[in-house]
Amino acid sequence: MQKGSVLLAIMAGLLVGSPAQAEVKLSGSFVATRACPATQSIKSAKNPGNIATEVGKTYDLLAGNKDLPTHYLIEVPGAEPDRRWVKVTCGHLADGEATEAPAAVPGKDAGKAAASASGKPEYVLALSWQPAFCETKSSKPECRAQTVQGFDATHFTLHGLWPQPNGNFYCGVKASDRANDKPGRWDRLPAVTLDAATRQELETVMPGTQSALERHEWIKHGTCSGKNQQDFFADAVRLAREVNASPVQALFAKSVGGELTSGQIRDAFDAAFGAGAGNRVRVSCVNDRGRRLIGEVTLGLTGPIEAGSSLSGLMLAAAATDNAGCPKGLVDAVGRQ
């Protein structure tokens, strides 16, 4: 056999013996009901950082390993790499069934929010309970700066406003910016331009601006909103303000140190924003050394989001969900507990 033929045969054998991991693209969210290894590879079970799913936490769903998957590919924030495989038996899909996620096409899809069946854009408003976030991210500047007198001790903080469907990311974004965003090098992303009043309010309601979170949120989500930076963040700030001026915030503030159920939280949204609003809310929890903490609430909205849009109207226009997420968790206080 000639030398070239031998080389080709060896290469073919290697390819047959080491198939690439298949991916069937999916969208939606995966809610962990068990603490399971989150591996870089299904076959090798390699797990850099010994990452495991956290019970009650919701993760972005990226793919399955086949049409009827045994494993899901999820995004685990803070893991390196953040794309991890978990067994399907470790949780459930937030919406009952995942669907294919059409990728945004730079240029063609830039500046377009995803539309619902009614033709109206859909969003998720994500609001964090910052003391719980800081239990596991205590080295971040915004966590080192926390005080019991601070806004984020008793109010929701803004994580983001996310055009849907999940997977509608990075519209028209340069490859170099995506390369910095993925591993969290947010300080290398372009600055966000806002008027003085919006900047001041954003820095209060989004403490993560101290880690350049607003740059990440714009690059990944805002670019798909169809709005400029000023309008996108002004909308997000205004909607967060409505929640923080409502009985929902009052419930959390008086419950610090105690537990709340997802049912109580949903009832508070009904009281604040109209009957049925709570059915558009999901609760996510984080596991802190055996304590289950309420980390975030996400609100389903159907737009368009305009200057006169009320949060109540946006929520009640969205599709309801039977999945309330984490059933119960502690409302954490500021400081390492």
Dist. CA 337–CA 335, nearest whole Å: 6
314 CB burial (10 A radius; 0-12, 13-18, 19+):
buried
Place of tokens 């809310």: 281
- Judge whether 155 counts as a catalytic residue: no
Q: Which two tokens stand for residue 75?
A: 């995004």
Contact (Cβ atoms closer than 8 angstroms) between residue 321 and residue 283 = no
Which of these is catalytic: 159, 214, 216, 296? 159
Amino acid identity at 8? L
Three-state DSSP at 307 gives coil
Which of these is catalytic: 142, 214, 217, 296? 217
- Judge whether 221 counts as a catalytic residue: yes
- For residue 87, list its beta bridge partners: 71
C-alpha closest to that of 315 among 253, 246, 227: 246
| Exposure string for 185-195, b = 16+ CB within 10 A, e = fewer | ebeebeebebe
Residues tagged active-site: 159, 217, 221
